[in-house]
Chain A
């Protein structure tokens, strides 16, 4: 008996040494504390952090192991060049990182890498790789961003005597919002059709309704913006049905913002709690180790509530190639949830993964990491993978119900608005 037990113990000891140890990889939240001593270790850290924390491996067909095999020797060659006393320039680094990481699908992604051993030939201190922008610029309908030209649209509309509609009201404001830390611009219009019906229209430079509306009734700059938003929502709520032709939300050049804005843009038109999207985060270092899809529900909002579905009121959202992040999640969720919605314009940017700040890396094990101002890298990347209507739109964007391309209209941004108003007129 004793001999058998000793034998079993020996066998157990032998077998315990048969298990493989995990490769070393730092906790992703610590990587901004780590210093590198070579270009290849810098690349390896970034490669590993993206391997473990990137949320899109299920839809991103990049072969990350092939990237390692192909580019690690090239970064080692940079090390050898540096050790030989030659300068490694930012341009060389940029070429390598664009080749290695420029094909990733995350359209929020921005990979910033500092040159460990700055060269006198460098005209900056770090490079920035934006895979999403690299892809978008190759689309056949790509055209320069409207940016603040949207303001010109409003001036144009005020003077467009040939238009098939009139402007019953027009308010614009650009206000600094403390809670956001930047300017937000809104244009509110109340179009009047020849038959006298009204169309409340809102253009928003970003998705910042929630923080802006916190200032409603206040005295700060943001309160001016809140008043405009309030006018739009109130017009939707209070205009009698026979006088309300439809609603327009213009999300062109909307660069994204707050997820909670969906309470206003969807919750105001719901009668019951409704699932609008699903998200999941990285649950393990394996590339396909996600949490389960978590449904996100919107509750009906009473403040500006109107049952536009029951009243069959068309809700048109205008998009363009620069509708980014929440700027495209908004039309996608509106389209998925509200039956009278309709999306007109261009296929959107394709950056649909919600983000959290770097400080939340402890919680999510994914999302932005690093700090370019203190250390040698910063990677801005989605914290969550998002599915709307059962589809992951990352990298492709939302395809509108009706495509109207600015490129087909000599860059004219009014054609998309005309299409929206025409749709409402014919609804």
Chain B
């Protein structure tokens, strides 16, 4: 419940800041919402393992975006989004090949990007480059596990919340970059309204597994996000 309050307060603050700033700086602010899909995979070593393969899974992400234009070709953009970053692990050794786990992780993402734009007044292309901070909010797992006695191997399906432990690094950061396309038209809500499509690549630079002083095994998520946006220039 406390986390939900924090989320609401953060969203309200960002919106309020954008609106307040807009009142002072004419037509430099664009704020809006976005939503879409993503594909996430994990980079990790195979330390101590020989039969695990990891593959990407899709997830969704949605949030708000705010953009402050310094010139007609350069702006700073900040997003606040809730992103599901999921991937899958499969065992493939001997008779354990039914064993798998789907890891579904929800993050609060806060990317801050330089937005280089080009093109005409209405249709513009964008190149984004920046960094992000993120907070790992929840983790869920689903899959099939096993146990073996001296005579039998048992498999069991599972699905549920994964509890965090002291090895989990919940605050992470990374680099983000990508491309976008926007089209603006006479505003219904703002002076002009903008629809956009962005392809962003999130590249973790902080491992979500803390590791140990003499035995580090970092894991990084990579997420390719495709979102549609609707924004308003005030």
How many residues from B make CB contacts under 8 Å with A? 51
Name the B residues within 8 Å of A47 (CB-CB): 214
The reply to whether B154 and A294 form a contact with Cβ atoms under 8 Å apart is yes
Cα–Cα, bound, A147→B156 (Å): 39
The contact string, 1 if C-beta is below 8 Å from chain B, for chain A 34-55, is 0000000000000110011100
Interface bracket on A: 35 or more
Q: Summarize A's interface: helix, strand, loop or mixed.
A: mixed
Bound form: Cα–Cα A11–B118 in Å: 20
> How far does the alpha carbon of A68 sit from the alpha carbon of B141 in the complex, in Å?
33
Does A118 interact with chain B (Cβ within 8 Å)?
A: no
**Is B50 an interface residue when CB atoms closer than 8 A count as contact?**
yes
Partner of A8, one of B43, B49, B177, B218: B177
Closest A residue, CB atoms, query B44: A22
Contacts A19-B218, A23-B217; is A260 near B150 (CB within 8 Å)?
yes
Check B47 against A288 for contact (C-beta < 8 Å): no
Check: A123 CB closer than 8 A to any chain B CB. no
Contact of B45 among A22, A64, A258, A292 (CB under 8 A): A22
B110 is an interface residue with CB less than 8 A from chain A: no
Interchain CB contact under 8 A, A260 and B177: no
A15 to B174, CA, bound (A): 9
Contact assessment for A25 and B215 in the assembled complex, using a CB-CB cutoff below 8 Å? yes
Is B120's beta carbon under 8 Å from chain A?
no
B196 within 8 A of A: no
The one of B43, B96, B177 that contacts A363, using a Cβ cutoff of 8 Å? B96
Which of the segments B3-11, B25-33, B205-213, B226-234 contacts the partner chain?
Answer: B205-213
CA distance A182 to B165 in the complex (A): 43
Task: Give the A-B contact count at a CB cut-off of 8 A.
Answer: 136
Contact indicator B150/A15 (Cβ below 8 Å): no
By a CB distance below 8 angstroms, the chain A residues around B195 are none
- Nearest CB of A to B130, in Å: 9
Additional A-B contact list (13), CB under 8 Å, known A12-B203, A294-B158: A4-B116, A4-B118, A8-B129, A27-B50, A47-B214, A51-B215, A210-B151, A260-B152, A286-B217, A294-B147, A297-B154, A363-B93, A363-B94
Q: List 26 A-B contacts (CB under 8 A).
A: A7-B127, A8-B129, A15-B174, A15-B175, A19-B220, A20-B207, A22-B217, A23-B214, A23-B215, A25-B47, A48-B214, A65-B213, A68-B214, A259-B150, A260-B151, A260-B152, A279-B147, A284-B217, A294-B146, A294-B154, A296-B147, A296-B149, A296-B154, A363-B93, A363-B94, A384-B147
Residue ranges of A at the interface with B (Cβ–Cβ < 8 Å): 1, 4-5, 7-8, 11-12, 15-16, 18-23, 25-29, 47-48, 51-53, 58, 64-65, 68-69, 210, 258-260, 279-281, 283-289, 291-292, 294-297, 354, 356, 360, 362-363, 365, 384
B residues lining the A interface (CB < 8 Å): 43-51, 93-94, 96, 101, 116, 118, 125, 127, 129, 141, 145-152, 154, 156, 158, 160, 165-167, 174-175, 177, 203-205, 207, 209, 211-218, 220
